[in-house]
Amino acid sequence: DIQMTQSPSSLSASVGDRVTLTCRASQTISRYLNWYQQKPGKAPSLLIHAASTLQSGVPSRFSGSGSGTDFTLTISSLQPEDFATYFCQQAYVTPGTFGQGTSLEI
Amino acid sequence: QITLKESGPTLVKPTQTLTLTCTFSGFSLNTGGVGVGWIRQPPGKALEWLALIFWDDDKRYSPSLKSRLTITKDTAKNQVVLTMTNMDPVDTATYYCAHSLYTTSSKNYFDSWGQGTLVTVSS
């Protein structure tokens, strides 16, 4: 399986901050990388697919970049509703392994 | 509007077989590029990809769990069923089903999820 490693595991930030979360794959996955947001007690929701394609309805303050093995998710100006856990997932091969998550805290 | 809902037992005993059903609406599993996957999440832990079935009945499994998993679809009933044999307390988790789309630019991504169902394995 391809291993996905996210950093940091947790991050404290404030409303209005710009934050960048990182995801690294154990081998090249081209741009087949998805990002999900999960709030406590809720199912994950898709933010970005193909490394940088914003899912319909997702605010433009979210952006993704990267290719190969290194990827980032950037939130340009944190809003109160953005405090959640973020997971990356590789879609290069099955199983589509997930990272361990980054918890974004106030 | 796509909706999915998981159903099945909330408590199973060790060594028993778990059967979960995903009932969906708003899409057809006869449509090219469409799939339904199962993902689980132990309490306080990360997501784990389990299995995925495609519109053409292609099936993919997590290698580490492949011997214990079976995924099937019933397109007439709009259901996907996951069975997991020989359940163990470490299998305690919230189990999600999700709608998957396959495109050449993105491959697979889960764009709609069920609410999840917590399954506890305990004697």
Partner-chain residue, chosen from A43, A97, A98, that has the shortest CB–CB distance to B113:
A43
Q: Where are the beta strands (DSSP E) in B8-58?
A: 11-12, 18-25, 34-41, 48-54
Q: Do A50 and B106 touch (CB under 8 A)?
A: yes
CA distances from B47 to A80, A94, B99 (A): 24, 14, 16
Convert B16-37 to b/e letters by CB count within 10 Å (16 or more is b). bebebbbbbeebebeeeebbbb
A50 contacts chain B (CB < 8 A): yes
Dump pLDDT digits (tens) for A19-73: 999 999 999 999 999 999 999 999 999 999 999 999 999 999 999 999 999 999 9
The mean per-residue pLDDT over the stretch B30-38 comes to 95
Question: DSSP letter at A27?
Answer: S
Residue A71 touches chain B, beta carbons under 8 Å: no
A36 contact residues in B (CB cutoff 8 A): 47, 110
Q: What percent of chain B has pLDDT over 90?
A: 94
Q: Is the pLDDT of residue B103 over 90?
A: no
Q: Which of A1, A50, A101 is nearest residue B63 as measured by Cβ atoms?
A: A1
CB contact under 8 A, B107 and A32: yes
Within 8 A by CB and 6+ apart from A65, the residues are A51, A52, A71, A72, A74
pLDDT value of residue B91: 98
State pLDDT tens for residues B43-83.
Answer: 999 999 999 999 999 999 999 999 999 999 999 999 999 99
CB contact under 8 A, A43 and B46: no
| Distance from the A97 Cα atom to the nearest Cα atom in chain B, whole angstroms | 6
